[in-house]
Structure formats: structure tokens, C-alpha cells
Amino acid sequence: MSEYAGYEGNSLEFLKKNTISVGDSVKILADITYSGIVMPRYEHSDDRHIVLKLKSGYNIGLEIAKIEKVEKILTSEKIVEKNEKVEKNEKLPNILLLSTGGTIASKIDYRTGAVTPVLTAEELNSSVPELAEIANIDTKVLFSEYSENIMPQHWLKIAETVKEYSNSEYSGIIIAHGTDTMHYTSSYLSFSLAGFPIPIALVGSQRSSDRASSDAALNLMGAVSFLTKCKGNGVYIIMHQDENDEAIACHIGTRVRKNHTSKRGAFQTIGDDPAFLIVNNEIHDNMKTEFFTIKEFDPKIKINEKVALVKYHPGYNPELLKNIIDSGYKAIIFEGTGLGHIGENMYPIVKIANEKGIFMGMTSQCIDGRVRMTVYESGRDLLNLGIIPLENMIPEVALVKAMWAAGNTEKRDEIKEIMLKKIASEFSI
């Protein structure tokens, strides 16, 4: 990292004039006195501010024109960390952690404020030493991406990697993942790896590891504890239950979505309680029925991205749907209003899609509840036009399942059969 990373113009001149570099500890007198570490700036930032990381972990921007005095406290120096080798405890179970990005398996460099991925078991043990008392953890980095950059091709790589460990000595597999698209990835793994013999847990962090309120370590500890004690299989998302640190929630991978942008308890199981709660290292089972119907592991790691998720709204231009059809899409998932409706101005284009043999499924924009297209005349009209109600499947889950189904067959009747078959608790009967 450059000693002036992200700084240019006036801000760069300010740092050079005061012989300050990124990573230096400083005391700054402005409206009040601030103490902290000079941080790098974003590439497209202005040149009027410097960024300081406070002891609380928060970053603030200080306008250089208002700085009265700056004093360097400590110069940044290259520190080579020595992580002690982790000796395996033969009495403990073994867990594999696959890293794809996010902050759950990362550490903070307090000289520069940079968050870097944990690459080895030694680094992980140094970052969260409590894990060594629960399990032996092996680590592998698949890639390092923000979750918004994880695409279906990444899902395939994750699934292919996990498949390699179907006959391993591991008690479970953790996938460290950014939170924004975590439920898309968990859905794909639920379908493509249905029947996988050991549990899979996707784990993320809403608060970065340099903040006092970080949930990273507790989420990871909860996941490891769950995987070592879980008697079944399946794909789960494991995150904080709420803003407190008392309970970690374990959600079925196809029945969960992120319902808050920043709260630690952002993930919620739709229509039910989380399948399990981890409280004081104890597992509380909330499962009322058997969730996973596929018993034999027969991986089908395929995908067809030519599937659209159409969120209907008043004023939706039917020509947009026509463009999807003309682009050769194999399936369309509607996110309709209420019980599963779209405006009658859409009907002529829907008729064209039906005639072209495109699978069309209906979900609801409502967070909870079931699609029922027989209640009103408009719903019955859409049924006659070939749209298939998808019960209480979450729209994003229906999108991923349709991609997976279309990757395994090009025949609409077979896609329909797959979409209506309960595979991994994607809908309840």
C-alpha cells in the first residue's frame, strides 16, 4: 500500500508538509482534539479531507482547512506477525472453512486500518483463539469478493469445491461469505448439493472486525459449535439472532433473507422461527418437521443464467418483458402483488411467452404468506395464460431454483416439475 494511498492535491500536500503517512498515529487539534490512525482514502475522494480511524474503530473525515495543529505520535512500521503453529487435537472434530470474501474470516491491521483475509489456520486461531477449543479448523481461500460481485459462476466453483469433500473426515463445512447475496448462494448450494452428507453453513458479518460491535467472531464460533453437534445435514445461514450477543440463529438456506441493511440480526427465517438457535454453546432445535426430503447425494452442479426475476409494479412497461422473451430467456419468475397478480396490460406479452414455451412462475412481493391465484378473477386469468403459482417460495430463491432447473433441462414441463418438487424446504406444504 502506498504511504499516501488515495490522497492527492491539497490533502496530499498537507500530509507531506507534516511528514505524515498512511498508518501513522497522530493527534489532531480541530474543533476538538482527535487521536487516531491516518487511513487510506477511496480512489474518487476529494482532496480537502484526511481520514482518521479512532480508537472506537470508527473512521471520520477531517477537513484540512479546519485543522489547527497536527502531531505525529507513532510512525507506521512494517510488522511481521508470528502466528504459532496450531497443533491438531485428535479428540476434537474437524471443520473446513472455505473463504469467498466478506469480513467474517478477516483481521484488522491496526497500523493502516486495512481488513485482510485470514489465509491460514494459524491466522484464524490468532484471530479467534476460542475456536481451537471447539474444533480443528482447516482453511482454504476460493476467492475474495464483495458479495455483490459473486455471480452464478462463483456458485458453481463453490459447489464443485464442496463436492470434493463429500467423503471427507470433516464434521461440517463453513463458507465465509459477504451478507448481501448470501441467501442466493445458500439457495444454489441447497439445490445443487441436495443430500450432501454433512451440514454446510454460510456465515457472514454485518459489522467489520475493527468495530467494537462486530459480530464476526461470535457468528463464526456459533457456526463451528453447530456443525460439531448437528446430527443431520442441509445448508444453513448462521448469523446473530438479534442485536444482543446471547443467541446465534441457524436458518434453513432456502427460507431466509436479509431484512435489514445493517442490524446484526438482519437475517430472518420467513414464516417461521429459525431452525436452530445456539445459546451458550447449546443447540436448541425449533424444527417442527423434517426439512430436507432428498436423502441420496446426487450432485447436479449446473446452471442456466437465462432466467429473469420480474418485479411487477404499477406502470411496468410490458415491452421490458418482451425484451426478455426476445433475448432467449428460458424462464421468468414474477414477483407479483398480493396473492400473485400482475396488471392486465401484461397479459398479451405473457401469452407470447407461454406460446414460446417459456416457464413462468409466480411469487409474491409480500414478505410472508402464500401465492393463491384461484381467489380472484385476475389470478385465474394468469393461470390460464400458463403462469405457475410457486406457493410461498421466496422470489430470490425461486430465481435461483429456476436457474438451476433450466441448467439441468431445457424442457418446460420438466422445469415445471422441478420447480414444484420440494427439494430443500424452499416451500412448505
Sign for the pseudo-dihedral over CA of 56, 250, 285, 272: positive
The helix (H) or strand (E) run that includes residue 71 is: strand 69-74
Distance CA 63, CA 52 (A): 11
Which residues neighbour 141 within 8 Å (Cβ) at sequence distance 6 or greater?
98, 99, 117, 119
How buried is residue 411: exposed, middle or buried, by Cβ count under 10 Å (0-12/13-18/19+)? Answer: exposed
User: Which parts of 88-225 are beta strand (E)?
Assistant: 94-99, 106-108, 115-117, 136-141, 172-176, 200-203
Closest CA to 170 of 277, 252, 120, 97: 97
Known catalytic membership, residue 261: no
Known catalytic membership, residue 179: yes
- Catalytic residue, chosen from 109, 120, 163, 180, is 180
- Catalytic residue, chosen from 100, 112, 139, 179, is 179
Known catalytic membership, residue 258: yes
Helix axes 318-326, 347-355, angle to 10 degrees: 10
Distance CA 215, CA 204 (A): 9
Closest CA to 338 of 403, 307, 382, 397: 382
Distance CA 21, CA 75 (A): 8
- Catalytic residue, chosen from 53, 107, 258, 401, is 258
Distance CA 185, CA 293 (A): 20
Known catalytic membership, residue 103: yes
Q: How far is CA 325 from the centre of its chain?
A: 30
Q: Does residue 102 come out as left (phi exceeding 0), alpha (psi in the -120 to 50 range) or beta?
A: left
How buried is residue 413: exposed, middle or buried, by Cβ count under 10 Å (0-12/13-18/19+)? Answer: exposed
- Catalytic residue, chosen from 100, 103, 181, 254, is 103
301 by DSSP, 3-state: which?
A: coil
Q: Which DSSP string corresponds to 368-402?
A: SS---TTSSHHHHHHHHTTEEE-TT--HHHHHHHH
> Which residues have a catalytic role annotated?
103, 179-180, 258
